[in-house]
Homo-oligomer: A and B are copies of this chain.
Amino acid sequence: MDPAAAFEPERFRREARAVVDWIADYWATLESRAVTPRVEPGGIRAALPAAAPEQPEPLAAVLADLDRVILPGLVHWQHPSFFGYFPASTCGPSILGELLAAGLGVQGMLWATAPACTELETHCVEWLRNLLGLPERFAAPGPGGGVIQDSASSGTLCAIIAARDRALAAHAGRPLVAYCSIDAHSSVEKGLRIAGIEAAGLRRIPLDAGGAMDATALSAALETDAAAGLRPFFVAATVGTTACGAFDPVSAIAAAAGRHAAWLHVDAAWAGTAAICPELRGPIVAGADRADSWGFNPHKWMLVNFDCHVLWVADRGPLTRALSMKPEYLRNAATEGGAVIDYADWQVPLGRRFRALKLWLTLRMLGAEALRRHVRDHVAWAREFAACATADPRFELLREPSLSLVCFALRAGDEATAALLERVNAGGTVFLTHARVAGRYAIRLAIGGAITERRHVMAAWQTIAASVP
């Protein structure tokens, strides 16, 4: 292909239709596929030619290889019976937004480099803030605001950097200490590592009986450290832990963090989406009015395709002071005028895709009501599944279901439960993953798929129940 032909509108029109058809056909066949593949390490590479081609190949050859090599080597995350990890679901409108972003090919690092990219982002995260019922302190315009990042890991890292630099500006010299629960996501520890906070500078606070952070233990740890001359600078609370969906008591945590002027970050990566339903919102946004930052992933349960994390901050100052770089070549009148947001100053990378488009298309083409229905259905089905497990004397719930997440085990013990999970997943009709809950090996059923229906959840239960030896 000539390089110019690679951007030829009529050629793109033709080839993109073929790809759209390929995707639509893939979706139509999803349910009939095994959720997980049977491949050995190296098997896919062995099926590919050793060198890149010198001459152009037709799209048909690529699509044939997708069918031949790639599809048999994938876990089908969009399969209706994918209940592993937290699902990262997508939908048509979101994909159209991603496609538009790629087709426009603009860089939103500064307002000046793509004003509409910046403003649509500010606008859509403000729509989201209102849908979730998050407090005014995160609103833009204002001292705070929201930004789209790739993942909760990156959002948490940015919160850590802002907190670290704010603390060092105030109290340089005292060793910094951060706090999160034993069940906080690994990205908190990873973010601290990246930020150069020694492993010794992280306190893992024990859990209460429900799997949430023990706020009394946090309070005691903060007091002890402050009395020892250390500087508590960062507390990460989790709303919806990965293991079992527990909700840390954010209000009590905020009170404790506030006594030491520590930055409070709330990680609602998965559960955040459920705050669009007023009846589920309470424990999710509780204490957000005292948080310095709050993040969640529309790419988990809100049907926006990965990557789409939204991070809000109550005060953008510490964030942009930590992350803003304005070398000569990026200087421009709009930035100097001070009336614009330059989102490169709110994140690690300089460049940015036009990610607001996929949020915009999803919110507009589905509408808020449909998104609420999506969440409510999953929560209801999780309760139904939990009732099945409760009614079966071989099983026990390790926690009450949290939103759309159910953690259960065989009464026969960890080994039997692990063996059951392996047997269930080996069948290929359903996929679940595991965690440790209260020291026990737990199977997790996480409902969140775009095309998952009640019948898939019930079939998962049947498969699991039938797989007990």
Contacts and interface: CB of A to CB of B under 8 A. Distances in A.
B89 A77 contact: no
Interface string A51-92: 111111111011000100111111111100000010011111
18 contacts: A3-B303, A6-B92, A6-B366, A9-B28, A12-B20, A51-B127, A52-B131, A52-B368, A53-B363, A54-B369, A55-B367, A74-B117, A75-B112, A75-B115, A77-B104, A88-B105, A95-B102, A98-B99
Interface in A40-58: 41-45, 48, 51-58
Contacts of A369: 54-55
Contacts of A107: 77, 85, 88, 306
B103 A328 contact: no
Given A12-B24, A186-B325, A194-B348, A370 B89 contact: no
- Chain A: interface residue count, which band? 35 or more
Contacts of A127: 51-52
A361 interface: yes
Given A92-B11, A243-B329, A307 B102 contact: no
Contacts of A340: 41
Nearest to A360: B62
Contacts of A72: 116
Interface centre among A195, A197, A350 (most CB of B within 10 A): A350
Assembly stoichiometry (copies): 2
Contacts of A450: 3-4, 6-7
A23 interface: yes
Given A98-B102, A306-B105, A193 B322 contact: yes
A106 interface: yes
Interface string A1-25: 1111011111111011101111111
Interface stretch (A232-240, A251-259, A260-268, A428-436): A428-436
A3 B153 contact: no
A173 interface: no
Interface stretch (A118-126, A205-213, A382-390): A118-126
A124 B152 CA distance: 27
Contacts of A59: 93, 96, 365
Contact of A23 (B19, B94, B103, B154): B103
A208 to B, nearest CB: 19
Given A6-B91, A7-B450, A104-B78, A12 B37 contact: no
In order of increasing CB-CB distance, the 3 nearest A-B pairs are: A196-B196, A73-B116, A23-B103
A459 interface: no
A106 B190 CA distance: 23
A330 to B, nearest CB: 8
Given A13-B24, A59-B96, A329-B434, A44 B120 contact: yes
A207 to B, nearest CB: 14
